[in-house]
Amino acid sequence: MTSTLEAPAPAADLRPRPVRRGPRNGPLILLLLGPSMLLIAAFIVLPALYSVYLSMTNTQLTGFAARDPQFVGLDNFTYLLTNGDFLSSLGQTATFTLFSAIIGQTVLGMVAAILLSRPWLRGKGVFGAAVLLPMIVPEVVASLAWASVLSNNSEGTLNRLTSLFGADSTDWLQVAPLTAIIVVNIWRGVAFAMIMFQAALEDVPAELIEAARIDGARAVQVFRHVTLPLIRGPVFLYLLLTTISTVSVFGLVYFLTQGGPGGQTRIAAIYIYERALQFSQIGIGSAASIILLVIVLVLGMVYVRLAKVEV
Amino acid sequence: MKRNRTLSVALTTVVAAAGLTACSAGGGSDDGPVTITIMEYQQTRIDIVEELIPGFEAEMAEQGRDITVDLVADQLTDEQFRTKITQQFIAGEAPDLVDMGDSFVPGFAGAGYLAPLDDYLEDWDGWDAYRPQFKEASVRQDGQIYSLLNTSGVLNLFYREDVLTELGVDTSQPETWDELIDRLVQVKEATGDTPIVLPAGSAWGGGTWNEGFQPLLGGTDQDYYDAETGTWDLESPGWAAVFDLYAELAAEDLLPTQDLLNPNPWQPTKYEKFPAGEIQVAAQGTWGWKFDWGPEGATPIPDLTEKVSTWQFPGLRDGDEPYGWLNLGGVYTIPEASDHKDEAMLLAQYLTTGEPLAEQLVASGAASPRDDISDVEPYASEPELLQAGVDQETSVFVPTGDGTDQIAQAVATATELVLTGAEDGEGAYRAFVEDATELLGPSLVKQ
């Protein structure tokens, strides 16, 4: 294929220029934004700042040390960044996020969105509902359902299926715990990806697709060279959102494995919970949270930067 | 001017009235109506305390006190309870009387969340009936008492006598761990089972230390904690010996390592395989007779006393004798922030006296920390519990103080290394020392 496609003019150019608001709108803006700013300050900014303070102390929740916390500077950060358990939890978080969110949810969500955009597909309602169902099920219910599916006894759904082929019962959460929670997280998150990509695909001009086909492009080529560049923004936005939400996944993993066996699924959120609340070391737990926050911020900036690359 | 004066008088009156009201609400020591709260987090104890509360309210009414008790029933695991009550202590929102495991007390008392009970106990006749070893063990590192025992017992090895007899394995008291391991190997070869469960690893939470490691350690070495200096001796020889024992049991495939690594490891081990006879030996407290395997327990074993019996822990090192481990079970504590300490203490005293105590002991499957209720029904009709009460006299116990939580954490992590096969006994001990030294800090480690 030698022809080149010109991308449509950016939508922003076609929109009327926004009218510059005068200073007299200031009180109205303050009235509209004030309450949410106050709430954000009270429930997000201040706790986050307090967390930063805690991360520089040896605060504990129990024991004599709890009575008189001391300022320890960056000691907690030094400790964590040289601590094998914490670094291992970061590695597991990266693996979990990469395979469940960045690869699994994104690819399957895209496939589902493309399928749903096909005019020939019948039963779209049922298919869409089936994909959406995991997203609306409460986290605890989803966890319990998967605990039943992956149960180690012969009554477990997966073991029932494998027994049809003569296999013995397997303790899936023991044998492949990380894979198991990756699969569960893909199952749970694919609906959100599908919704985002479906909306993005609807904005792709049909004439461009048509033109590419007339030029002889195969379906894969159309997707690679026409569709994907045009939906790059929503794709990166989704990657940003899913990365943030997956890095902070806690309930799903805690209910299924509690970080075990042998710490094989101790992702960062579980590590922070253990340190801060189970072992009462709120100072170290806060420092771990701050490190995780910085990592997510860096990832976010990378995504934003990538999303702005011209097509 | 007159109007201003009237206004100021009215304001003064309102402020004064508000002040008096506040004083009245906060004092909590007058004889007016008072509502206090008590927290229970285990279903068995929720049920029994709920039954006992009307008796307390009636007794108080007879004494002319109008006290109402609200039961805060919140079924939780030990770790969930610990997390939740810690937040409540910090927020000053904990119930007036909190029933918890004794092992939680050093951490909470150290942090200043609990009220000292010494003055109350000095003025209470019931305290004289408490066995001396429990009174001694209740004194914390700062010399004060923050808890009132409501249940106690002895940790031993419970074994399936029916299964071992059928297999032709000796059921007499093993004198040493070597002797017991030989028998366990026999069982394993005959059945293919992993025959013994000792709490280990992170998934068992605080139980790994309280119900597994510490009883083994305390039986062979009582110098690992120095109560006078409040420091932990990490070089005391018992530590390495216990890690070696865990490693040997794991290496011989005698421990159900996979089950121990899973969440809620007590479920497949104590609640499934032991009742099924597929685990034949379990480290277990007196509560096993009721709470775990009794007719009303979590997983009843029919004809329990005919099928199950107990050994003392065998000696671990040369010269060690078999022993039981004294278990300080549950305690009542009063938060420092409570507005109704006096009334909460009255409730605690009521629940740890006579028939209310006897009923709790039977419901929980515990021995009595007091020596004056052996003839009080329904406790008097429970031979296993009565025997445990007698065994308490000769059982071993090593009181510990600040740093228990950190030690428990380091032990859990190090035993997990054994379970996963990442380390042998020596390696696990080294990892433990490194971890514990870091967690405790220099002030809590004996130099």
- Report which of A169, A143, A171, A156 is spatially closest to residue B257, judged by C-alpha positions: A171
pLDDT recorded at residue A100: 94
The minimum CA-CA distance between A202 and chain B, rounded to whole Å, is: 45
- Report which of A232, A230, A213, A214 is spatially closest to residue A222, judged by C-alpha positions: A213
Percentage of chain B with pLDDT > 70? 93
Q: Which residues of A touch B439 (CB under 8 A)?
A: 279, 281
Given a cut of 90, is residue B278 above it in pLDDT?
A: yes
For the ranges A18-22, B19-23, B214-218, the one whose mean pLDDT is highest? B214-218
> Which site among B83, B204, B415, B437 would you substitute to test the A interface, given the most A Cβ atoms closer than 10 Å to its Cβ?
B83
For the ranges A57-66, A216-225, B36-45, the one whose mean pLDDT is highest? B36-45
**Could you tell me the maximum CA-CA distance found in chain B, to the nearest angstrom?**
103
Model confidence band, residue A278 (pLDDT cutoffs 50, 70, 90): confident
B82 touching A (Cβ < 8 Å): yes
Model confidence band, residue A300 (pLDDT cutoffs 50, 70, 90): confident
Given a cut of 80, is residue B143 above it in pLDDT?
A: yes
What is the overall mean pLDDT for chain B? 90
pLDDT recorded at residue B113: 96
CA distances from B435 to B110, B231, B234, B406, B408 (A): 21, 16, 11, 9, 11
CB B221 within 8 A of CB B323: no
Tokens coding B331: 């305690």
pLDDT recorded at residue B182: 96
In SS3 terms, B243-267 reads as HHHHHHHHHCCCCCHHHHHCCCCHH
Q: What is the average pLDDT across A42-67?
A: 91
Which residue among B107, B202, B422 sits closest to A62, beta carbon to beta carbon?
B107
Tokens coding B170: 């000796």
Q: How many residues does chain A have?
A: 311
CA distances from A14 to A8, A10, A11, A200, B175 (A): 11, 7, 5, 19, 90
pLDDT recorded at residue B170: 96
Task: Report CB contact under 8 Å: A61, B203.
Answer: no
pLDDT greater at residue A44 or residue A20: A44
The interaxial angle of helices A282-307 and A232-247, nearest 10 deg, is 170
Residue whose pair of structure tokens reads 């300050």 in the numeric block: A41
Question: Using omega within 30 degrees of 0 as the cis cutoff, is the peptide bond preceding B295 cis?
Answer: no
The minimum CA-CA distance between B411 and chain A, rounded to whole Å, is: 13
The minimum CA-CA distance between B215 and chain A, rounded to whole Å, is: 21
pLDDT greater at residue B398 or residue A309: B398
Predicted model pTM: 0.79
- Report which of A55, A81, A47 is spatially closest to residue A281, judged by C-alpha positions: A55
Q: Which residues of B touch A281 (CB under 8 A)?
A: 439
* Single-letter code of the amino acid located at B51: E
pLDDT recorded at residue A154: 81
Nearest CA in chain B to A85: B413
Task: Report CB contact under 8 Å: A63, B106.
Answer: yes
CB A60 within 8 A of CB A284: no
Residue whose pair of structure tokens reads 């049922």 in the numeric block: A126
Question: Using omega within 30 degrees of 0 as the cis cutoff, is the peptide bond preceding A119 cis?
Answer: no
CA distances from B288 to B29, B55, B365 (A): 41, 28, 7
Nearest CA in chain A to B262: A261
* Domain map (residue ranges) of chain A: 87-277+289-307
Angstrom distance (rounded) from CA A58 to CA A54: 8
Q: Is the dihedral of CA A21, A22, A23, A24 positive or negative?
A: negative
Q: Which residues of B touch A256 (CB under 8 A)?
A: 263
Model confidence band, residue A203 (pLDDT cutoffs 50, 70, 90): confident
Q: pLDDT tens digit string along B215-241?
A: 999 999 999 999 888 899 999 999 999
Angstrom distance (rounded) from CA A157 to CA A162: 9
Angstrom distance (rounded) from CA B380 to CA B355: 10
ipTM of the prediction: 0.74
What is the overall mean pLDDT for chain A? 86
B202 touching A (Cβ < 8 Å): yes
Residue whose pair of structure tokens reads 């737990």 in the numeric block: A285
DSSP for A232-258, please give it.
Answer: HHHHHHHHHHHHHHHHT--HHHHHHTT
Given a cut of 50, is residue B25 above it in pLDDT?
A: no
The minimum CA-CA distance between B246 and chain A, rounded to whole Å, is: 16
Ordered by where they begin, the domains of chain B are 32-152+328-390 (3.40.190.10), 153-327+398-444 (3.40.190.10)
Which residue among A258, A262, A280 sits closest to B405, beta carbon to beta carbon?
A280
Q: How many residues does chain B have?
A: 447
Q: pLDDT tens digit string along B149-165?
A: 999 999 999 999 999 99
**Fold classification of A87-277+289-307 (topology level):** MetI-like fold (1.10.3720)
pLDDT recorded at residue B1: 44
Model confidence band, residue A22 (pLDDT cutoffs 50, 70, 90): low
How far is CA A178 from its chain centroid? 16
Given a cut of 80, is residue B247 above it in pLDDT?
A: yes
Given a cut of 90, is residue B8 above it in pLDDT?
A: no
Q: Is the dihedral of CA B293, B299, B300, B305 positive or negative?
A: negative
Q: Is the dihedral of CA A247, A251, A253, A254 positive or negative?
A: positive
CB A279 within 8 A of CB A259: no
Q: pLDDT tens digit string along B303-357?
A: 999 999 999 999 999 889 999 999 888 999 999 999 999 999 999 999 999 999 9
B286 touching A (Cβ < 8 Å): no
Q: pLDDT tens digit string along B363-383?
A: 988 999 999 999 999 999 999
Angstrom distance (rounded) from CA B93 to CA B339: 11
Angstrom distance (rounded) from CA B82 to CA B341: 21
Model confidence band, residue A16 (pLDDT cutoffs 50, 70, 90): low
Given a cut of 50, is residue B60 above it in pLDDT?
A: yes
Angstrom distance (rounded) from CA A301 to CA A295: 10
pLDDT recorded at residue B175: 95
Tokens coding B420: 């996963």
| Beta-bridge partner residues of B282 | B158, B197
